[in-house]
Chain A
Amino acid sequence: SQTIHQWPATLVQPVGSPLSLECTVEGTSNPNLYWYRQAAGRGLQLLFYSVGIGQISSEVPQNLSASRPQDRQFILSSKKLLLSDSGFYLCAWSVLPNTEAFFGQGTRLTVV
């Protein structure tokens, strides 16, 4: 069966520090991968998606970047965090674009 792992679960980082959140998927090949952000009391906003290794599309201009160095690995990064980067970050995968996406357990990021 397929599983998605996302870590860390919680993270507190000072303003201006770098960020690296990692997500890996097991049990499937060539998944579509996604990074979403969820602000408190709101729905999910798509940040990045990837259809293959090295292929990244960004949905919103922001202080973050994403990379896909391996087929089942998706990384969310920042060189310098801002207070506004605080939120709940969720990684997800799907087999095809028009099928259900399966989510990881999320990372609660607090920038202080």
Chain B
Amino acid sequence: GESVGLHLPTLSVQEGDNSIINCAYSNSASDYFIWYKQESGKGPQFIIDIRSNMDKRQGQRVTVLLNKTVKHLSLQIAATQPGDSAVYFCAEKRPGGADGLTFGKGTHLIIQP
């Protein structure tokens, strides 16, 4: 989900379990969504994207679900591994106005051994 203030929400999961990271977006007219993974001190890395004419898309070990009714986006990571530990950001492309992506505040995924 989204955080208020300076602290990122944190999700702690056991290695091997599935992770679900949630994101609420604000603009009902947004037509393109992306999940990024950012490791400490590095730039965001593209994971998976989805367009508004879809409600589900699967990649390798990851699935993105889009619920346009409630403006909710989720990222599911199967069989979480230590290398999945990072901050995950959702981003939306809003129609019109500015080019570029609008990012959520991120969720810190911590993998417990």
Contacts and interface: CB of A to CB of B under 8 A. Distances in A.
Interface string B24-38: 000000011010100
Nearest to A51: B99
Interface residues of B, number: 26
B82 to A, nearest CB: 22
A49 to B, nearest CB: 5
Contact of A90 (B6, B8, B44): B44
Interface in A67-112: 90, 92, 97-106, 108
B100 interface: yes
A90 B89 CA distance: 14
A15 interface: no
B106 A46 contact: no
A106 B91 CA distance: 18
B10 to A, nearest CB: 11
Interface residues of A, number: 28
A40 interface: yes
A100 B105 contact: no
A49 B98 contact: yes
Contact of B98 (A40, A59, A100): A59
A103 B44 contact: yes
Given A46-B98, A46-B100, A59-B100, A41 B43 contact: no
B42 A43 contact: no
B93 A98 contact: yes
Given A44-B44, A103-B44, 16 more contacts: A6-B43, A34-B100, A42-B105, A42-B106, A43-B103, A44-B89, A44-B91, A46-B98, A46-B102, A59-B100, A90-B43, A98-B32, A98-B93, A101-B100, A103-B36, A103-B43
11 contacts: A34-B100, A43-B106, A44-B44, A44-B103, A45-B103, A46-B101, A49-B98, A90-B43, A92-B43, A106-B42, A108-B41
